[in-house]
Structure 1
Amino acid sequence: MTALSSLHIPRIARSGVLLMVLAVGLSAFGVGCGDGAERRSEAEGTEPLGLGKEVTVPIPAAVTTVVATGAEPRSLLRPDYPAGTVQRVTLCTAHRVEQQINEQPMHDFSAPALTIPMIAQTTAAGIDLTLGTVTSPDPTLAEALTNIGGSHAGFDLSELGAITALRLEPSPDTSTAARSALEQAFYQAVYRSIAFPDQPVGEGAVWTVRQEVTGGVVLDQITTATLTRREGDRLVIELKVTQTPKSPMWNLPNNAGALDIRDYVMQGAGTITVDLGLPLPVSGSITVGGHQAYRDPHSESMLQQTIDTQVSWTE
């Protein structure tokens, strides 16, 4: 039986396997771990993290390369805040997914937008986050989010400001739907963050950040950063993002087979403002989107998608 035919293409909405794929695999943010050390299997991909306890998810290393050092004066860009520094900030995420199989009608599997106010407090290892009242325009999810206020999360950081681990600890009475939405929102934020270069730079400097994005399709992500303006510790950075699959095939969850990647275009851009004296961006927005096409090598069936993800920060 072929990969797509085993998913019963004419009744695709009832296929648990493909619904799992739509929920996490295609978004490329579905990676996770068990209790901080054990990686989740593909079959566990739809289960949210933090079921009653804090979990720590390692994030693949980010490698920076300076392309141009920029104008004088140049200096090392480093987070510079004492432990206990507090910042109030709001993270907003939106994730649109539309899918078509063969000539069937296009279906919308988008995740509802989230608005996550939080208080960030720095520690010796990174950033602790306490969530405020999380909201969504989707009525069902909004109701599920009512108990998530007061939940905790956090980032561990390298000396270059790269996120090396994501910590999640939703409150015990948070629903599964709310946990899943929160998890995906933070993955989007993690993979839209920026690491600083390892040598002195000035205005006009350009550097790249290469990072593996793990999920249903493992991606090589390259973010090109340009320091367009600096006023003291406040930096305005333009970002351009491209993603390329590291394999020509997509291995489906639950051993459901594999699809050939026939087309994959994911790219985006945005601008963020960061303050070296504060732990999180003070403002900015990044949008990454594109289209993808997958083919079942046995049946010639085609799966096509359009994806658009936006992450924004405000104080």
Structure 2
Amino acid sequence: MVPSIPDVIAGPRDAGGRPSRLDAVDPRSKRLPARPLVAVRGRRLVGAVLTASLLAGAAACGDSDSPDPAAGAGGESAAAGETSLEAEVAVDPGPAPEVELVEPGAGERRVLTYAPSREPATVEVTQSGTARTEVPGAQARVDETPAQTLTLEGRSEPDVDGAQRASATVREFTSVDELRAAQFSTAPGFAVTWTRGPDGIVRELGLAAPADATDVARAAVEIAANAISDATVVFPTEAIGEGARWTVTRQVDDAVAPTRVTTYELLSLDGDVAAVRLDQSAPGPSDTLTAPAPDGGPDVSLDVETYEITGSGELTVDLRAALPADGTTESSTRAVYVDPSTGKRTTYDEDSVLRFAGAD
């Protein structure tokens, strides 16, 4: 089965009068991939906000080509042998963000830039989350993603114009859920490559899947790759010191709030290792959500009563490493949509966590 967001808006229509259209549109306004790793495409996933939902949907699919849960339920190591990879597929990372220095900070200041890694570094990337959707006339749906970890070996090397070509290879996938671990057991060997400027802006993103990777494994790694790409700290081009603050504004594929603003603060700087705090918001949401109806009917237009996306966290960044060395980011989505013809509400709440931890 093709991994996708589950159809959470599948409740019954109203018992009488004009039928409600709340069951004709997914309350998550982002545009999501139908199948990963098939063609060049634009950015569709935003940080860790959607990670929990899509992985929960992928695991729930029970992919027919998934391995037997009794085999490899603890994940597999890519080190066991050579992995045959398909041709790398490019993913458009979207337009470059705008970076604005707010406060240069105190003490000694310098321009922070990424540099080639001295040696490979292994990092464990753990994702978890919960999503809840409530629709009139239907039982509330809860999708949970238990903690699951990709062990990645990352390195970076020089590219043109001062850029860095960073790469990460999946060495192992583990999960507390045996079925999920079995479904994603073909993830080891996956290669993720991104080209980033010296300031950290990702210019290109590519993924190469093992030839025997299942669809759910491809979906899981693509989502993780986007989350890691979004977690890459972008630095201002000006010299900064401890206490510096700057904003990074991105345009994303979100039909309600297409702008994300991340505010960074430099907490400490020790050689090539920087500790930063971040806060994210989605300002200026639209008052309406209009989307094609999956049932083929006319476009659906809902009033947006509430739409809040927030994120926060702290990351430890080694400027000579492909991946954050340590840290945690958390994100939340709160959305309430109203059918203007009936006044009925549908709500969507999601919380997700992304953790990095050195595994050396």
Task: Give the TM-score taking structure 1 as reference length.
Answer: 0.82
1:35 aligned partner:
39
1:106 aligned partner:
140
Following superposition, the deviation at residue 229 of structure 1 comes to 0.9
Query: Residues 294 and 59 from structure 1, CA distance in 2 versus in 1: closer, same or farther, beyond 3 angstroms?
Result: same
Residue by residue over 1:27-68, the C-alpha shift from the partner in whole angstroms, topping out at 9 and shown as x without a partner, is: x4836885226889xxxxx999xx954221112322111110
Specify every segment of 5 or more residues in structure 1 that has no aligned partner in the other structure, as ranges. 1-6, 12-16, 41-45
Does the residue aligned with 1:143 lie in a helix, a strand or coil? Answer: helix
Residue by residue over 1:145-177, the C-alpha shift from the partner in whole angstroms, topping out at 9 and shown as x without a partner, is: 112211111222122112233322221222122
Question: CA–CA distance in 2 between the matches of 1:164 and 1:176?
Answer: 26
Question: CA–CA distance in 2 between the matches of 1:230 and 1:289?
Answer: 29
Specify every segment of 5 or more residues in structure 2 that has no aligned partner in the other structure, as ranges. 1-8, 14-21, 45-53, 59-84
Following superposition, the deviation at residue 105 of structure 1 comes to 3.9
Question: CA–CA distance in 2 between the matches of 1:128 and 1:234?
Answer: 19
Question: CA–CA distance in 2 between the matches of 1:161 and 1:56?
Answer: 18
2:122 aligned partner:
88
1:223 aligned partner:
262
Does the residue aligned with 1:165 lie in a helix, a strand or coil? Answer: strand
1:301 aligned partner:
344
**1:289 pairs with 2:323:** no
Does the residue aligned with 1:264 lie in a helix, a strand or coil? Answer: strand
Query: Residues 216 and 150 from structure 1, CA distance in 2 versus in 1: closer, same or farther, beyond 3 angstroms?
Result: farther
1:252 aligned partner:
291
Q: Within 5 Å, give how 1:98-247 maps onto structure 2.
A: 98-102=132-136, 104-123=138-157, 124=159, 125-215=164-254, 217-244=256-283, 246-247=285-286
Query: Residues 19 and 258 from structure 1, CA distance in 2 versus in 1: closer, same or farther, beyond 3 angstroms?
Result: closer
Q: Which amino acid aligns with 1:100?
A: E
Question: CA–CA distance in 1 between the matches of 2:306 and 2:184?
Answer: 36
- Count of equivalent residues: 294
For the 8 Å contact 1:94–1:111, the answer to whether it is kept is: yes
Aligned Cα root-mean-square deviation (Å): 3.1
Residue by residue over 1:84-140, the C-alpha shift from the partner in whole angstroms, topping out at 9 and shown as x without a partner, is: 742211111123211111364431023444311111121325212111111222322
Following superposition, the deviation at residue 250 of structure 1 comes to 2.7
1:76 aligned partner:
111
Q: Decide which moves more: 276-285 or 257-266.
A: 257-266
1:58 aligned partner:
92
Residue by residue over 1:164-204, the C-alpha shift from the partner in whole angstroms, topping out at 9 and shown as x without a partner, is: 33322221222122222222222223333320011000001
For the 8 Å contact 2:311–2:332, the answer to whether it is kept is: yes
For the 8 Å contact 1:89–1:120, the answer to whether it is kept is: yes
For the 8 Å contact 2:193–2:206, the answer to whether it is kept is: yes
Question: CA–CA distance in 1 between the matches of 2:176 and 2:42?
Answer: 35
Query: Residues 8 and 225 from structure 1, CA distance in 2 versus in 1: closer, same or farther, beyond 3 angstroms?
Result: closer
Following superposition, the deviation at residue 271 of structure 1 comes to 0.6
> Quick one: percent identity of the two aligned structures?
23
2:356 aligned partner:
313
Q: Which amino acid aligns with 1:177?
A: V
Following superposition, the deviation at residue 266 of structure 1 comes to 1.6
Query: Residues 212 and 76 from structure 1, CA distance in 2 versus in 1: closer, same or farther, beyond 3 angstroms?
Result: same
Does the residue aligned with 1:10 lie in a helix, a strand or coil? Answer: coil
Query: Residues 180 and 282 from structure 1, CA distance in 2 versus in 1: closer, same or farther, beyond 3 angstroms?
Result: same
1:43 aligned partner:
none
Following superposition, the deviation at residue 18 of structure 1 comes to 7.1
Question: CA–CA distance in 1 between the matches of 2:31 and 2:273?
Answer: 29
Does the residue aligned with 2:32 lie in a helix, a strand or coil? Answer: coil
Question: CA–CA distance in 2 between the matches of 1:277 and 1:116?
Answer: 21
Query: Residues 213 and 85 from structure 1, CA distance in 2 versus in 1: closer, same or farther, beyond 3 angstroms?
Result: farther
Question: CA–CA distance in 1 between the matches of 2:25 and 2:170?
Answer: 27
Q: Which amino acid aligns with 1:183?
A: E
